[in-house]
Amino acid sequence: MLWLCLNFPDLPINIFSIDRKTEKPIAIVESSNTIIAVNKTGQSLGIKNGMSLSAAYGLSNLIEVKYRNKHQEAKKLEEIATSLFKYSSQISINFPNSILIEIGASIKLFCDTKHLKDQIKKTIIELGMNAHAAVSPTPLSAVWLASQQIEITVLSISDLPKHLDSLPISTIGSKNTLCIQPDDVGIKTIGELASVSRSAVTQRWGPHVIDQLDRAFGRKPDPCPLFILPRRFNTEISLNLPASSVTELLFGINRIIHSMTNYLQAKQRGVIKFELTITNEENFPHNFNFKLSVPSRDPKHLTNLVQERLNRETIPSRIESIQLKSTQELSITPSNYSLIHQSEHIEPNRGQLIDQLQARLGEKSVYGITVYADHRPEKSWRATIPGGQRFHGPVNHRPSWLLRTPKALPSVSGIPQLHGPLTILNGPERIETGWWDEKDIKRDYFLALTQDHSQVWVYKDIKNQRWFLHGIFS
């Protein structure tokens, strides 16, 4: 097996800086008011990790302080892991800031390790993140190398000592044991620790340290819990600066929709219903529900739908967060692609056109039609959901254009007139029905030809012997 580890040193601040670039210094602090992350603007002012908040204010009184949000950091790691399923099905999240990917089975598909590693880093950059990547035959050694920003590729377990021995002793985690204090015993590197007898290490620092060494150097199995995709997509992002217009929201909306489409691609599904929630600084949510005519995972199409909808809505001012969740998903058959690269030709999608019109005009303004079991022509159709199931019943020779209200026609010697006398081509067809709802009719319908050779549908009302124009053929 071969593991690639992605380490995200700026994760605490990345979750607050996803909407647009800013020149304002931003620092992330924990409960002790110690800075754990700072953006590039803050770094240029001399603000560093580990600095107290009071010392940072001494360098700049314009610094914006945000408290660390570990929950959002975990959600961000899950979002990134979801986008990596196209490279491997074995992905493990190593909290607090790393992701492990088993790439050994995928190397042949991507030609070689370097090309695969470059593709993964390209995906990370597209997500707006910065990561250090290291490849190693054991997961823990990959985590150690990436955490020290050593971006190398180690292919053999026998090569591990020359790369791990020089790492600082602080690289070893202190879970379930006391921190190793190198100054106390003079041990500064992992190689120096490995040269100490196992019994001495166990006696002084417990079995946990030996266990880590054995797992890192491949002397002991190191199974990693695999990340499993959630049943439904549900992600929330925080904006760096409050937004008050659709234009200011678009960057964050585009980012979160791309996350959803990555999830849908991994699940081989398309979304048919989803909900967008924007929350302002008063913590008041505004929900927007979307329903598609056909399932989709096209990020451009979904972004356009959201933009069209928000453009015709009144959105609140000073929006601070965006939440997106899928409420209904359907399976989508993967597309077939040619082995020979060709320029992509995208045919117009009827479902996407319907979705765009509904987003712009309103859901109730766009509908389909279907036949209905009623002999009365004006009642033989119903409005239906576009793209929904339709009833295909036997339909006689009928025009597609029916007048909303039949137009009375004059007659001369019993011949109906419409810009001149009509020539009867076919008929009569007797329709006599509707007694049960007190809207009964008794008509004789005819197919007629006008003077300019257009075909029309006319009828003679048996009750009053008058002629009416009811439909026009194309």
Q: What CATH number should be reported for the domain holding residue 167?
A: 3.30.70.270
Lowest mean pLDDT among 36-50, 364-378, 447-461: 364-378
Mean pLDDT, residues 314-320: 86
Is the per-residue pLDDT at 472 higher than 60?
yes
Whether residue 370 lies inside any domain: the answer is no
Pairing label, strands 64-67, 26-29: parallel
Whether residue 227 lies inside any domain: the answer is no
Is the per-residue pLDDT at 392 higher than 60?
no
Same domain, 206 and 317: no
Work out the angle at residue 180's Cα, subtended by the Cα atoms of residues 174 and 156, and round it to the nearest 5 degrees: 70
Is the per-residue pLDDT at 339 higher than 60?
no
Same domain, 212 and 330: no
Is the per-residue pLDDT at 395 higher than 60?
no
Is the per-residue pLDDT at 59 higher than 60?
yes
Nearest to 137 by CA among 2, 7, 250: 2
Same domain, 192 and 238: no
Last residue of a domain, one of 361, 396, 418: 361
Whether residue 450 lies inside any domain: the answer is yes
- Give 36-42's long-range contacts (Cβ < 8 A, gap of 24+): 36/12, 36/68, 37/10, 37/11, 37/12, 37/13, 37/68, 38/13, 39/13
Percent of the chain with pLDDT over 70: 90
Reported confidence tier of residue 177, pLDDT bands at 50, 70, 90: very low
Mean pLDDT, residues 13-18: 70
pTM: 0.67
Is the per-residue pLDDT at 176 higher than 50?
no
Same domain, 141 and 268: no
Last residue of a domain, one of 187, 216, 245: 216
Whether residue 179 lies inside any domain: the answer is yes
**How large is the C-alpha radius of gyration of the chain?**
34
Reported confidence tier of residue 345, pLDDT bands at 50, 70, 90: very low
Whether residue 114 lies inside any domain: the answer is yes
Is the per-residue pLDDT at 241 higher than 90?
no
Higher-pLDDT residue of 359 and 248 is 248
Same domain, 263 and 304: yes
Same domain, 158 and 198: yes
Count of domains observed in the chain: 3
Q: What is the pLDDT of residue 78?
A: 92
Mean pLDDT, residues 302-330: 90
Same domain, 201 and 252: no
Q: What is the pLDDT of residue 106?
A: 92
Whether residue 223 lies inside any domain: the answer is no
Same domain, 145 and 249: no
3-state helix/strand/coil string of 349-386 = CHHHHHHHHHHHHCHHHCCEEEECCCCCHHHCEEEECC
Nearest to 350 by CA among 313, 394, 385, 387: 387
Is the per-residue pLDDT at 337 higher than 80?
no
Higher-pLDDT residue of 67 and 101 is 101
Reported confidence tier of residue 22, pLDDT bands at 50, 70, 90: low
Whether residue 256 lies inside any domain: the answer is yes
Same domain, 267 and 192: no
End-to-end distance of the chain based on CA atoms, in angstroms? 68
Same domain, 111 and 212: yes
CATH number where 256 lies: 3.30.1490.100
Mean pLDDT, residues 94-103: 94
Whether residue 390 lies inside any domain: the answer is yes
Last residue of a domain, one of 216, 248, 282: 216
Q: What is the pLDDT of residue 329?
A: 92
Digit-coded pLDDT (tens) for 109-161: 888 999 999 999 999 988 888 899 999 999 999 999 999 999 999 999 999 99
Q: What is the pLDDT of residue 121?
A: 93
Q: What is the pLDDT of residue 317?
A: 85
Lowest mean pLDDT among 183-187, 226-230, 288-292, 336-340: 336-340
Could you tell me which residues come within 8 angstroms of residue 347 by beta carbon, excluding any fewer than 6 positions away?
none
- AA letter at 42: G
Same domain, 150 and 290: no
Higher-pLDDT residue of 311 and 15 is 311
Is the per-residue pLDDT at 32 higher than 70?
yes
Is the per-residue pLDDT at 351 higher than 90?
no
Q: Containing domain of residue 127, as a range?
A: 3-16+69-216
Same domain, 184 and 107: yes
Digit-coded pLDDT (tens) for 281-297: 888 899 999 988 888 99
